[in-house]
Amino acid sequence: MKNCFLFLSFCLLFVACRQDAKPVSKDVLVADLDKSVSPANDFFNYANGGWIKANPIPDEQSSWGIGNLVIEENLKRLRTICEEAAKSKATPGSIQQKIGDFWLEAMDSTKIEGRGLRPIAYYLQQIASVKDIPTLTAAMAQLEKIGVNTAPGMYVAQDDKNSNMMALQLVQSGLFLDDREYYFNQDTTYQNIRAAYHQFIQRFLELSGNDSTEANKLATDIIALETSLAESHRKLEDTRDPYKNYYKMSVGSLDKLTPSFRFVRYFQMVGVPPTDSVIVHQPEYYKALETELKNTPIDVWKAYLRFRLIDEYSQALPEVYGQAAFDFSKVLYGAKVRKPRWKRVIATENNLLGEPLGQLYVKKFFTEKAKQRYSSMVEDIRAALKSRIQHLTWMSDSTKQKALVKLAAMKKKVGYPEKWKDFSAMQIGRESYVQNLMNANAWWVQYNFNKLGKPVDRDEWEMTPQTYNAYYNPSNNEIVLPAGMFTVPGATDEQIDDAVAYGYAGASTIGHEITHGFDDQGRLYDKDGNLTDWWTKEDAQRFEAQADKMVNQFNSFQVIDTFKINGKATLGENIADLGGVLLGWDAFTKTKQYKENKMIDSLTPAQRFFLGYALGWMHQSRPEALRAQLMSDVHSPAMYRVNGPMQNVDAFYQAFHLQPGNKMYVPDSARVRIW
């Protein structure tokens, strides 16, 4: 499992809308329309097709959309912050010094080329000295400490059944490719991916010392090892049930699952604080790991570790390593050219030093006034869900009361943290880019492990203010809404009318995240964030019947070639999308704009609301990226995050006059009715 900081991305700020906003002089909604498409047949392409036709995917990207427009602008802003910090002669240990030195070392390609593999030589030697299982696991521990993922997948997080306690968690791991199906799917696409993966492994092994014959055989053996481990992996949809992926056991019991690994010793070597128990999410994986420790030759394990080490640091090694990694990523995701160095560096620095960058970022680009405006919109959406719960016909009063209590208790975090993490112990200097990466990775690994045995910090953020994303955390019963998620590129808040704002921000983000507290997973957690059953049996059955309708709807969407959406794996996100649209709509109907019902650019307020929602998913992907998403992502592709929920929203039918015979028309009895 990747450390939590690795999934962060970039974005601009959003300033929430004023009630009497003035529309943009060039209406963004009208400019993006493709009027050759009927909104009743394909709303996504009606709303966004004009923009998509005029904006082909750049060669350096695997996909392109509104988020990328935000990201590209933000990259420039973050670059300015880094360059100013590098020139600032900042005090040693300060945020500016760390940001500046990281940037300077990462951009010094001449120094990087001249040092070759020397910056990782110590760890290569540790791997080379492995001679048996104890020394193998010791080498894994050394790599774990610097953020290199190998066979064990471990981290510290809240105990699902006791949200006040932090627990050591172990999950299925060991695979380089994103999902078990990459190893078994016999479609030509995945046969080609496996062939390219073999070439990628072989290339790294040759560059680091093996001749071509040895590297070819070892690459074959590494893939065989991962395939054996993949056989024990649960399918993506089967990892989503928190009850079926919760096995709390003593550390001694864990050692019985994988006696050769000696986890008690491993925890000590990695720096995990003493603990009596662990939560193992997929015990069968650790049984399979025991088999492979015994049956796979040590030389194969050593090559496996060497490949993982080089891959983790390939972007900070000479260009030949980074280019090899990109060549394989082209097969997976389809980008044609590699991004320029400065963009790659900003991405890495934002992953590792995102909060320090965020502190400088919000001083320039996000105000307290904006934060308050945005907080008010959250309360509008919360009130909309409260009303919906109160008027549900399928839910009993006893469950309703508990749902309302949970909703009222849901915490909101808006814009940026009230308190920042302390990065003073992270050592960033001018030794080398690799060393800075190692130090930063090691800081994050230890930061996570140090949470064990300490009170839960419910004020912590897992995203940075500049992140183009948001999340719901069931263990904290909270929504976290970074400043950066809600930008409409090229427009200020005064230019965005309420209809667009409540669709773009209220529905696709705020309502979406609030609904996650009541989707197929979130509904299993109570107001305090504990995994506990607070539903009556009958209410749960009625919920599941509607959820099954949604699974079947999304299972029917054929996206590309023979690849369809996995309705079970994407169920939580699909429920949240539908809930978000409904809540955003309900809140919008309370506004002055909706009540006055004045048209703007020949669009009614209702039409602008739904177009505003679609604007949030204005996105296109290369075929390779789409296939990868369908295989390993719990989110549906952008087109279906628009057309999917809309076919279940009565107000959408009225706004665009859908009738039987239209492609998006679903009979009333077949529409999903949850929240």
Rounded mean pLDDT, 357-370: 82
Q: Looking at residue 3, what is its pLDDT? A: 39
Full-model pTM: 0.91
Integer Cα distance of 500 and 504 in angstroms: 6
pLDDT at 21: 41
Residue whose C-alpha is closest to residue 411's, from 530, 529, 235, 570: 529
Cα–Cα distance between 419 and 435 in angstroms, integer?
28
Q: How many whole angstroms separate alpha carbon 78 and alpha carbon 60?
A: 19
Ordered by where they begin, the domains of the chain are: 34-74+367-417+460-670 (3.40.390.10), 117-316 (1.10.1380.10)
**In sequence order, what are the beta bridge partners of 154?**
170
Query: DSSP characters for 623-671?
Result: HHHHHHHHHH-SSPPHHHHHHHHHTT-HHHHHHHT--BTBTT---GGGS
pLDDT at 74: 85
Region 72-93 average pLDDT: 93
pLDDT at 116: 97
pLDDT, tens only, 303-326: 999 999 999 999 999 999 999 999
pLDDT one-digit tens code per residue, 264-297? 999 999 999 999 999 999 999 999 999 999 999 9
List phi, psi (to 5°) of 487.
Answer: -75, 135
Interval 143-175: pLDDT, tens: 999 999 999 999 999 999 999 999 999 999 999
Q: What mean pLDDT is predicted for residues 504-516?
A: 96
Question: In which band, very low, low, confident or very high, does the pLDDT at 7 lie, cut at 50, 70 and 90?
Answer: very low
Per-residue confidence (pLDDT) for residue 20, from 0 to 100: 37
Average pLDDT, the chain: 93
pLDDT at residue number 139: 98
**How many CB atoms are located within 10 Å of the residue 195 CB?**
12
Residue 239 DSSP label: G
What is the reported pLDDT for 152? 97
User: Please, which pLDDT band fits residue 26 given cuts at 50, 70 and 90?
Assistant: low
The per-residue pLDDT for 400 is 98
pLDDT of residue 364: 80
How high is the pLDDT of residue 11? 33
Mean pLDDT, residues 665-669 taken together: 96
Binned at pLDDT 50, 70 and 90, residue 457 comes out as: very high
Query: Is the pLDDT score of 438 beyond 50?
Result: yes
Task: Look at residue 495 and tell me whether its pLDDT is greater than 90.
Answer: no
The reported pLDDT for the residue numbered 73 is 85
Residue 493 pLDDT level (bands cut at 50, 70, 90): low
Cβ atoms 228, 513 nearer than 8 A: no
Report d(CA 35, CA 38) in Å as an integer.
7
488 sits in the region (left: phi over 0; alpha: psi -120 to 50; else beta) called beta
Distance between CA atoms of residues 160 and 242, nearest Å = 8
Predicted local distance difference test score (pLDDT) of residue 184 = 97
**What percentage of the chain reaches a pLDDT higher than 90?**
89
Span 558-594, pLDDT tens digits: 999 989 999 999 999 999 999 999 999 999 999 999 9
Question: pLDDT by residue (tens digit) across 96-149?
Answer: 999 999 999 999 999 999 999 999 999 999 999 999 999 999 999 999 999 999
CA distance linking residue 653 with residue 666, whole number of Å: 10
pLDDT tops 80 at residue 357: yes
Lowest mean pLDDT among 385-399, 484-498, 624-638: 484-498
Q: How confident is the model at residue 65 (pLDDT cuts 50, 70, 90)?
A: very high
Burial of 81 (0-12, 13-18, 19+ CB in 10 A): buried
- What pLDDT digit, counting tens, does each position of 192-241 carry? 999 999 999 999 999 999 999 999 999 999 999 999 999 999 999 999 99
| Average pLDDT of the residues in 508-537 | 96
Partnered with residue 279 across adjacent β-strands are: 169, 248
**In whole angstroms, how far apart are CA 504 and each of 43, 498, 507, 642?**
15, 10, 6, 12
pLDDT for res 491:
76
Does residue 14 register a pLDDT over 50? Answer: no
Q: Give me the residues paired with residue 564 across strands.
A: 558
**How many Å apart are CA 94 and CA 99, to the nearest integer?**
9
- For residue 16, is pLDDT > 70? no
User: What Rg value do the Cα atoms of the chain yield, rounded?
Assistant: 25
Neighbour-count burial for 154-165, b at 16+ CB within 10 Å, e otherwise: bbbbbbbbbbee
